[in-house]
Structure 1
């Protein structure tokens, strides 16, 4: 029995490359990892878009407050803030053109 195991080990050592089972296991593991990455990237993209919209809303709110501090009222639309150089053009995506009574931009 020992002699048979020894000959099997020696035969195995002389082989080069991988077996079909080893290659299939590696392919399956890589497929699982790729699936995790794809779903993770989609989640990160949505989180990034949400954070970008919140930052844009905050920028417009700060510009509207600066307008209010200077003029005593809130602007009628975002374009007025751009024309008065409180914001850079173009208007941030996802932010509505108008404001409510407290100076909060529409869509935020």
Structure 2
């Protein structure tokens, strides 16, 4: 009995040459739905990653400014001074564009370290 069913099934499968148009359309529609759901999620994650990278770079710069102030006794005049004295390897730029930079403001009082501002960078809220 089982052997007869298997033989019938094998004959049916041998006669089938390929996919029907309906089967192909169903697969294309399913792939379109998956893409419509996945692409916005991926793009949103990319924007969040950019903002978080900028926040981390700002924190690293501020830490380097504070260490510079503690060791040298004065605030750096510009962020390039942190590289010159080996507090950081290079001044980071904004994650969204290499043309955008963080802004550094020197300490207003003699006993005050400078601060790093967002400048042109996009930050998380």
- Give the alignment's TM-score, normalised by structure 1: 0.73
Contact 1:96 1:107 in 2 (8 A): yes
| TM-align CA RMSD | 2.2
Q: Would you say 1:98 and 2:98 are equivalent positions?
A: no
Structure with bigger strand share is: 2
In 1, the alpha carbon distance for the partners of 2:93 and 2:57 equals: 8
Contact 2:58 2:102 in 1 (8 A): no
User: 5+ residue gaps in structure 2?
Assistant: 1-8, 95-100, 108-112, 120-125
Structure with bigger helix share is: 1
Please state how far the C-alpha of 1:30 moved relative to its aligned partner.
0.3
Please state how far the C-alpha of 1:97 moved relative to its aligned partner.
4.4
Contact 1:61 1:105 in 2 (8 A): yes
- Give the alignment's TM-score, normalised by structure 2: 0.64
In 2, the alpha carbon distance for the partners of 1:84 and 1:104 equals: 18
Contact 2:103 2:116 in 1 (8 A): yes
Tell me which moved more, 60-69 or 40-49: 40-49
Task: Report the equivalent of 2:40.
Answer: 39
Please state how far the C-alpha of 1:23 moved relative to its aligned partner.
1.8
User: 5+ residue gaps in structure 1?
Assistant: 1-9
Tell me which moved more, 17-26 or 79-88: 17-26
In 1, the alpha carbon distance for the partners of 2:93 and 2:26 equals: 46
Contact 1:75 1:99 in 2 (8 A): no
In 2, the alpha carbon distance for the partners of 1:98 and 1:77 equals: 7
Aligned ranges for residues 47-62 of structure 1 at < 5 Å? 47-62=48-63
Task: Report the equivalent of 1:21.
Answer: 22
